[in-house]
Amino acid sequence: MAAFTLVELAIPASLDAPGADDFRDTVDVRNAVRTHDAGTADLEFTAEELLPGWLDPYEPKRLFVARVDGRIVARGIIERKADDAATAWLLAEVLPEYRGRGIGRALAVELERAAGAEGRSKAIVYAPSPAPVDDGAAASGGRGSIDVRVDAPTGFGSVPAANPEVRLLLDLGYSLEQVARGSRLQVPVDDADLVASIARARERADADEYRVHLWADRTPRRWREDLVHLLTRMSTDAPSAGLEEPEDRWTVERLLDDERSHAADPRMTLTAAVEHVPSGRLVGFTELNAPAEVERPVSQEDTLVLREHRGRRLGLLLKAENLRHLQRAKPGHASVTTYNAEENRHMLEVNEALGFRPFLYEGAWRKNLRPE
């Protein structure tokens, strides 16, 4: 069995800069791992699409790799928020053919060590947990062990106890806090069905009280302040169980920086936002992120309705309107993927009503890096 080495890589300033080839190799690892674990290539991204996020000063990241005979076979990530000193989001991904050699464990331990050296006191890990194949092997603990689950303390969702990533995280001292569902929608959706969904939403969200606005990529000037408020509330209003995710504070300056950094990104962001007409303020939004190639899937990104405006089917209204927006502005895509916490029943019901179906589950895990 070949030995492996762990090193940290510098993030290249561009894909023409020194180190770009290694960065591209880590993207290849990312895509191979996610395609294997999800059973679909729907989660693949290109290096061109991902690099702007790696250069985001508001969400600084560190990149580690494992090499075997010079080849990058695994990658590890530490992600932070610039205005939060406590939390580190960690991720370790190992090519399927190199699993079972201790690489994932060594990478996870190194990520924890590096995060702790920065003074981080809490680690959060999101790990996909594919359904296992029951081959009857004694190594899995005997007949029936494949059905043993680790339940989320929210009361919604579980992960297979026999899975290698679950065993590793438990062994390292992590606790499962939440389960998220990955869902896929086949598109195009019949326009008549979307119109019917909008009509159902309008039974509670009267057009005189709530008005939908649509745009692509850059946020119109009049809505910048409102959108950054919604983006900040996304970090505090979305269900996070016992993860205690910190507030992710947005400003207009950060929004403009983000839009400028993605100007060369080949993907298009389509936004639907809903205005509360009496106040003139946006109270909800949803985003779709569409690649240039129509044969590739669209990603459903953030969706939020402010707590004080929930119960009026604004989530259904926003998503149905933005799907119509997608099918007019970027026709030809075959699917849309999204992730939601299992306890976020309202949003899951909206997705299911629109035709989304589950394809993957992942656990959200927490570990305190320092004794409390």
The C-alpha atoms of residue 33 and residue 1 are separated, in whole angstroms, by 21
- Is the bond into 18 cis (omega within 30 degrees of 0)? no
Domain check: are 10 and 147 in the same one? yes
Q: Which pLDDT does position 143 carry in this prediction?
A: 41
Domain check: are 212 and 149 in the same one? no
Q: Which pLDDT does position 139 carry in this prediction?
A: 43
Main-chain dihedrals φ then ψ at residue 249, nearest 5 degrees: -85, 125
Q: Which pLDDT does position 305 carry in this prediction?
A: 97
In a domain, 293, yes or no: yes
**Boundary-marking domain end, from 156, 181, 206:** 181
70: left (phi over 0), alpha (psi -120 to 50) or beta: left
The C-alpha atoms of residue 43 and residue 53 are separated, in whole angstroms, by 16
Instruction: Give, for all 372 residues of the chain, the pLDDT tens digit.
Output: 679 999 999 999 999 999 999 999 999 999 999 999 999 999 999 999 999 999 999 999 999 999 999 999 999 999 999 999 999 999 999 999 999 999 999 999 999 999 999 999 999 999 999 987 655 543 444 445 567 999 999 999 999 999 999 999 999 999 999 999 999 999 999 999 999 999 999 999 999 999 999 999 999 999 999 999 999 999 999 889 999 999 999 999 999 999 999 887 889 999 999 999 999 999 999 999 999 999 999 999 999 999 999 999 999 999 999 999 999 999 999 999 999 999 999 999 999 999 999 999 999 999 999 875
DSSP 173-187: T-EEEEEEEEEEEES
Q: Which pLDDT does position 178 carry in this prediction?
A: 97
Q: Which amino acid does the sequence have at 366?
A: R
Domain check: are 237 and 314 in the same one? yes
Domain check: are 151 and 274 in the same one? no
Domain check: are 84 and 218 in the same one? no
The C-alpha atoms of residue 336 and residue 289 are separated, in whole angstroms, by 9
Q: Which pLDDT does position 146 carry in this prediction?
A: 61
Domain check: are 12 and 91 in the same one? yes
Instruction: Give the pTM.
Output: 0.93
Domain check: are 162 and 242 in the same one? no
Task: Give the CA count within 13 Å in the CB-facing half-sphere of 252.
Answer: 8
In a domain, 150, yes or no: yes
Domain check: are 150 and 220 in the same one? no
Domain check: are 174 and 202 in the same one? no
Domain check: are 157 and 226 in the same one? no
Total structural domains within the chain: 2
CATH of the domain at 281: 3.40.630.30
Q: Which pLDDT does position 140 carry in this prediction?
A: 43
Q: Which pLDDT does position 142 carry in this prediction?
A: 46
The C-alpha atoms of residue 31 and residue 23 are separated, in whole angstroms, by 13
Domain that holds residue 104: 5-181
β-strands 298-305, 335-341 pairing: parallel
Structure token digits, residue 40: 């679909």
Domain check: are 31 and 118 in the same one? yes
In a domain, 231, yes or no: yes
- Other C-beta atoms closer than 10 Å to the C-beta of 200 total 15
Domain check: are 197 and 121 in the same one? no
